[in-house]
Amino acid sequence: MPEQLVFAMEVTLNGLMAGVLYALVALGFVLIYKASGIFNYAQGVLALFAAMTLVGIMQGQVPFSHLINAVFGGHVTHFGWNVPGVVAIALTVAVMVLLAWLVQVLVMKHLVGQEPIILFMATIGLAYFLEGVADLMWGSEIKTLDVGLPQGINLWIDETTFNIFGYGFFIDNLDIVATVIAALLVAGLVAFSQYTKQGRAMRAVADDHQAALSVGISLNFIWVLVWSVAGFVALVAGIVWGTKSGVQFSLSLIALKALPVLMLGGFTSIPGAIVGGLIIGVGEKLFEFAVGPLVGGATENWFAYVLALLFLVFRPQGLFGEKIIERV
Amino acid sequence: MLDNSESYVTEDGRTIGGVVMEMKNITLRFGGVVAIKDISFDIREGEIRAIIGPNGAGKSSMLNVISGFYVPQEGEVLFHGKKRPPMRPYEVARQGIARTFQNIALFEGMSVLDNVMTGRLNYMKTGLFSQALWKGKAEAEETENREVVEKIIDFLEIQHIRKTPVARLPYGLKKRVELARALAAEPKLLLLDEPMAGMNVEEKEDMSRFILDVNDEFGTTIALIEHDMGVVMDLSDRVVVMDYGKKIGDGTPDEVRNNQDVIDAYLGVSHD
């Protein structure tokens, strides 16, 4: 087999795995958008906040310790214990649910019936606010996150491919785990939104508030639920990305990578987020591999956005988005 | 006068039961504007009760008070003889009061079937996980609810559009889907806000027939608001007439038709 083709295969595989990670972030956006019509700018920060909280809890950090020390002049930073990963994750989920409730009670509840642009602006404010709170709560230094996910080269794939092609593929174990997690998460979310009473109620609320009320759906409850689920997805994304590249401010910027994914897949489609993520992941890796050397590289920085732009011009609703139907 | 718990039989042989819903001295204000002024009336089990009046009389406000969208400043709402505390609209819906809207509130992105299924949400009791996994009781429950829904869809003759997204439907059919969704909740009281507004004669006849059939077949108590006097007089057992937020008449269609205040409100008074 020609060497170039083998390389291309490895690049494609790695692209698929990167795509899964993009899709993971995009999912959070799709969920909130489908359920409340809000484009949640804070989704990336939500992932950062979740990851920081998880690290903080695991390391037994005292929340707001800087603030406490500054006001009362103490020197407390840690409780002095370490919390095992699983327990810490459970506690973080609880924190995210609490956060969801606070967002609903303090912000969204007061904006019922407002224009989507107002709600969007509110999430921008929320993003900056949360960013500050996260730093104040857990400190702004770069942290490493290790909840026990396997990392490093997968030797079995390396050996197998070496035996077949005479060239060992480099596939990171973490990427494989991320793919499995993402698949489980998506299956769970699809089952939730399609088959459960709460899922149906969620879709109903997204469509028409008044009508939802008239069939006995509590808007407050559904919104807390939606933000909780988004918080949970953010936590999963935060764990995977945080393990991969450390927990730091730039984690919240992964949200930017999710935008082209959404434009490709459509803002309203869960499968769209997956396929969009995969296309962008594979596309940018292959493009870098094939065209990169000709133009001096670094195409990964812009490829996704150019692709998204093309989609906006030729298929604005994305691959799977709902076509806007309106009778006149 | 009938006692609150007494029942009687109408000319066409339907039994009208005791009082289900009683409005006592309801006053509703929006700032300085008084939308409803000290109105009392009741709705009996199994009857078709109409609220009529010229534009701006406060009919829709009245319906919104019953369904919990507005909370009146004064007065009491009694449901099954018990005073109802101020409630959120979704709580009212859970008590068995379903409604339709003047300018249609449907879930446009969902199919007709899914729209009608949302009417069954409060009948679904199984847990989140068994529903998601589609196992055991959840499956039986979904089947059961589907049967009720399919029956209503058949009844309202909208089988042919079951899978169509609601946004694609013409106005008249949307109104029918909205009625189907309200019926799916098997309401104790069904509120219809101008069910025939904007329809042509044929569609109006269809809708009238459905309303009568629903009342006849399921024994549903119905309160409706309508502009079209002819339709109202044919449909309803008793009529409340409102004008400028006040009640100016209450009784059978014949009584109301011959009420001088009502005639004045509708035709105007000559000043000579």
The answer on pLDDT for A49 being more than 70 is yes
**Do B136 and B265 lie in a common domain?**
no
Q: How far is CA B19 from CA A76, A242, B36, B255, in A?
A: 68, 64, 22, 20
For residues B221 and B215, what is the distance between their CA atoms, to the nearest angstrom?
7
Contacts of A199 in chain B (CB under 8 A): 132
Q: Do B74 and B146 belong to one domain? A: no
B82 within some domain: yes
Domain contains B46: yes
* Angle at the Cα of A82 from the Cα atoms of A79 and A88, rounded to 5 degrees: 105
Total domains in chain B come to 2
Average the pLDDT over each of A181-185, A220-224, B136-140 and give the range with the smallest value: B136-140
User: Which residues lie closer than 8 Å to A86 by C-beta, 6 or more apart?
Assistant: none
Instruction: Show residues of chain A in contact with B96, CB under 8 Å.
Output: none
Q: List the CATH number of the domain containing B251.
A: 3.40.50.300
Check pLDDT > 60 for residue A326. Answer: no
B131 contacts A197? CB cut-off 8 A:
yes
* Mean pLDDT value across residues A273-278: 89
pLDDT at A328 over 70: no
Distance, in Å, from the CA atom of A293 to the CA atom of A52, rounded to the nearest integer, reads 38
Min mean pLDDT across A239-248, A295-304, A308-317, B259-268 is at B259-268
B198 — phi, psi (to 5°)? Answer: 75, 15
Does B212 share its domain with B259?
Answer: yes
Nearest to B89 among A192, A213, A322 (CB): A213
Over residues A97-119, mean pLDDT: 87
Look at residue B102 and tell me if it is in a domain.
Answer: no
Q: Quick check: is B134 in a domain?
A: yes
Pick the residue from chain B with its C-alpha nearest to A191: B132
Which residue among A188, A217, A322 places its CB closest to the CB of B109?
A322
Name the DSSP class of B270.
Answer: -
Statement: residue A28 has pLDDT above 60: yes
Asked whether residue B103 is domain-assigned, the answer is: no
Average pLDDT estimate for A226-241: 89
The mean per-residue pLDDT over the stretch A234-249 comes to 88
Q: Look at A200 and B118 and tell me if their CB atoms are within 8 Å.
A: yes
Flag whether pLDDT at B266 surpasses 80: no
Could you tell me the pLDDT band of residue A1, with boundaries at 50, 70 and 90? low
Per-residue pLDDT, averaged over B6-29, amounts to 87
Check residue B262 and give its pLDDT. Answer: 84
d(CA B265, CA B56): 12
Q: Is the pLDDT of residue A215 over 60?
A: yes
Indicate the residue of B69, B90, B128 with minimum beta-carbon distance to A218: B90
Whether B36 and B22 map to the same domain: the answer is yes
- Whether B165 maps to a domain, the answer reads yes
pLDDT of residue A125: 94
Residues of A with CB under 8 A from a CB of B: 188, 191-192, 195-201, 203-204, 206-208, 210-219, 322, 325-327
Q: Is B228 found in the same domain as B156?
A: no
From CA A176, how far away is CA A173, in angstroms rounded? 5
Is B4 in the same domain as B92? yes
Q: What is the predicted pLDDT for the residue at B272?
A: 60
What's the confidence (pLDDT) of residue A244? 85
Give domain status of residue B101, yes or no: no
Same-domain check for residues B3 and B71: yes
Q: What pLDDT shows up at residue A325?
A: 54
Task: State pTM to two decimals.
Answer: 0.77
Radius of gyration of chain B (CA): 19
SS3 B256: helix
The yes/no answer to whether this complex scores an ipTM above 0.85 is: no
Is A282 or A253 the better-scoring residue by pLDDT?
A282
Query: Of A266-280, B130-144, B231-245, B249-263, which range is least confident?
Result: B130-144
Note the Cα B57 to chain centre separation in Å. 18
pLDDT on residue B220: 92
* Most confident listed range (A288-302, A304-318, B167-181): B167-181
pLDDT at A34: 76
Tell me what percent of the residues of chain B surpass a pLDDT of 70: 94
Note down the domain range covering B56.
1-96+187-272
| Same domain, residue pair B86 and B63 | yes
Domain of A195: which CATH number? 1.10.3470
Q: Residue A180: what are its φ and ψ, rounded to 5°? A: -65, -45
The model's pLDDT over B83-132, given as tens digits with 9 standing for 90+, comes to 999 888 999 999 999 999 988 889 888 889 989 999 888 887 766 666 76
Domain boundary among B185, B219, B238: B185
Question: Which residue range(s) make up the domain with A301?
Answer: 3-314
CA proximity to A208, closest of B65, B178, B122: B178
pLDDT score, position B135: 67
Instruction: Provide the pLDDT confidence category of residue A2 given band limits of 50, 70 and 90.
Output: confident
A327 occurs within a structural domain: no
Query: Is A325 part of a structural domain of the chain?
Result: no
Least confident of A5-14, A109-118, A230-239, B122-131: B122-131
Instruction: Give the pLDDT of residue B133.
Output: 67
Report in angstroms the alpha-carbon separations of A157 from A2, A13, A132, A167, A178.
19, 11, 42, 11, 16
Last residue of a domain, one of B149, B170, B185: B185
**Do B151 and B203 fall into the same domain?**
no
| Domain count for chain A | 1
Q: Which of B63, B90, B179 is the best substitution to test chain A (most A C-beta atoms within 10 A)? A: B90
Nearest CA-CA distance, residue A225 and chain B, Å:
12
- Asked if B172 and B192 sit in the same domain, the reply is no
- Identify the burial level of B94 via C-beta atoms within 10 angstroms of its C-beta, where 0-12 means exposed, 13-18 middle and 19 or more buried: middle
Residue B236 placed within a domain: yes
Q: What is the 3-state secondary structure (H, E, C) of chain A?
A: CCHHHHHHHHHHHHHHHHHHHHHHHHHHHHHHHHHHCCCCCCHHHHHHHHHHHHHHHHCCECCCHHHHHHHHCCCCCECCCCCCHHHHHHHHHHHHHHHHHHHHHHCHHHHCCCCHHHHHHHHHHHHHHHHHHHHHHHCCCCECCCCCCCCCECHHHHHHHHHHHCCCCCCEHHHHHHHHHHHHHHHHHHHHHHHCHHHHHHHHHHHCHHHHHHCCCCHHHHHHHHHHHHHHHHHHHHHHHHHHHCECHHHHHHHHHHHHHHHHHCCCCHHHHHHHHHHHHHHHHHHHHHCHHHHCCCHHHCHHHHHHHHHHHHCCCCCCCCCCCCCC
Q: In the structure, what pLDDT confidence band is assigned to residue B134 with cuts at 50, 70 and 90?
A: low
For residue A91, name the pLDDT band (cuts at 50, 70, 90).
Answer: very high
**CA-nearest residue of chain B to A208?**
B107
Of A191, A219, A325, the CB nearest to B165: A325
- Which residues of chain A are within 8 Å of residue B90 when distances are taken between CB atoms? 212-213, 216-219
Are B115 and B196 part of one and the same domain? Answer: no
Whether A323 has a pLDDT exceeding 70, the answer reads: no
Structure tokens, B128: 């989140």
> Residue range A64-80: average pLDDT?
82
**Helix (H) or strand (E) segment spanning residue B50:** strand B48-52
Q: pLDDT confidence of B271, banded at 50, 70, 90?
A: low
Whether residue B142 sits in one domain with residue B21: no
- Domain end point (choices B134, B151, B185): B185
